[in-house]
Amino acid sequence: MFRQKIIFILLLALIFVVPTGFAQPRNPTDTIKPLSQLPTHQIIIQFKIDSSLNRQIQNAETVDMMQSLSTAAGVTLTYQREMATGSHVIALPDKMSLDEVIRITARLESLPDVEYAEPDRLLQVIGERLGEPFSIEATPNDPLYTDQWHYRYSAGVSEGINAPTAWDTTIGSPSVVVAVIDTGILPTHPDLANQIVQGYDFISDTFVANDGGGRDNDPSDPGDWVEGNNTCFAGSTPSDSSWHGSHVAGTIGADSNNGTGVAGVSWESKILPIRALGRCGGFTSDIADGIIWAAGGSVSGVPTNSNPAQVINMSLGGTGSCSSTEQSAINQAVNLGATIVVAAGNSAQDASNFSPGNCQNVINVASNDRTGDIAFYSNFSTTLIDVSAPGGETNATDSNGVLSTVDSSATSPSSAAYAYYQGTSMAAPHVAGVAALMYALNSSITPAEVEQLLKDTARDFPAGSSCIGFGDCGEGIVDATAAVAAACPTESISVTPATGTFTVYLPLITRSC
């Protein structure tokens, strides 16, 4: 393992408070977008298997059940649907503050038939739209690749993921699918159109969906712009469409060596777009169903996923502990064989306060800047950060951000473009892309093995990095070349000399390795 002991890491979060003893942002003008404890109008409830309420729900006898739950809650509740986790989504009479909803769920949890009840929290994208996107004309191969410093490694100058020499071994495989649970995708973007397999739109709330409907088989991103003040929550302000899912997807697997735009980390892998975030964010219940479906699990009312993902990227999050719903969905996906990569958060706070990065069985990714320092916005943790990856930092110049695929419009889709973003949302897809390269070489590798190899092969932070001596940025900066080399499968033979039998492990001879 290439690692020095590190003590300072900043991740991705929602409210910027600099903890005592941690480094201040290097530029006093740097700011973090606040993310409040968003109000919600839904809860998630799990009944005990042998309970009378569970029997009622299985027999579709919801009227008496909802009367009992409403009496206990003190408000009128309406049944919505069953989730893939076996839990149920219940609607509140109106949007309420998170504190109010927590009090209601506590009353429900006091019922002997209830295993747990929790708010169906709205999570949000993690990353910023920075400056104006720009378009290009087709010129020689991937003309913007030279601006993607985040793929290259030059000590202390360009602390990227060291991808070019990894590409000498593998550029990925079309049999490897990476799910992007996000705002959807721009299906006609020239750097994305050939990379997509059939995904799904899991947004059930029509306001959040912003596309005129609920769940359907079209994961296209209609835009997530917000026009008015206080639209999402008290104090929220208008915002342009982020095209967040497309930016993330482009980093993972943009069409590469096609004479257009940018390159992706895994050129040949396929993107499975799963739309779970829209206007104002996305509900935990929709995200959880998307996680399970992405890995090949069954979701009621949703067609079977014919392209189960080996890797799932979640550049999203919110404040609070990992919920039972999130952990259950993650566990199911990992058991189905999916590696889950999560952005740590952009709040410059301890990552333990942000989910799903604080859930078990995920690879939690912090963000480093171009020189190998912790990005000023990144969350940190002495225990919960696994690795760091370039997420960009644009306080000095936009070109120090991460360059990827977006749309030119501030509202509805208009024309293909490219833009620099910053955030742990941008760091995570680098790791997801490297994981896809590993799966291309070794289809039998397990999620636990992927995580361990990524940590074992992570590159030491450069001398003088703010990740050394102040906090914990994880095991180091993800190194694609070292990770790919470690992923090559091995075979063993038994040797029986005079002194006894022992096993010798040899590299498995393949075209790539």
As a whole number of angstroms, the distance between CA 436 and CA 312 comes to 10
Q: Which residue of the set 120, 142, 182, 350 is catalytic?
A: 182
150 is catalytic: no
- Which residues contact residue 473 at a Cβ distance below 8 angstroms, ignoring those fewer than 6 apart? 6, 8, 9, 10, 366, 368, 374, 378, 380, 385, 388, 461, 465, 467
Token pair 């990524």 is found at 454
Dist. CA 18–CA 41, nearest whole Å: 31
Q: Which H, E and C letters describe 466-498, residue by residue?
A: CCCCCCCCCCCECCHHHHHHHHCCEEEEEECCC
Residue 492, number of CB atoms within 10 A of its CB: 10
Identify the CA nearest to 87 among candidates 105, 101, 104, 75: 105
Per-residue tokens: 160: 């990227």
- Supply 278's token pair: 């829209």
175 is a catalytic site residue: no
Catalytic residue among 173, 425, 465, 466: 425
Nearest partner of 242 among 406, 482, 1, 478, judged by Cα: 406
Q: Is the dihedral of CA 98, 383, 467, 130 positive or negative?
A: negative
Residue among 41, 150, 189, 244 flagged as catalytic: 244
E-strand ranges in 250-331 read 270-275, 282-283, 311-314, 316-319
41 is catalytic: no
- Tell me which residues are annotated as active site: 182, 244, 425
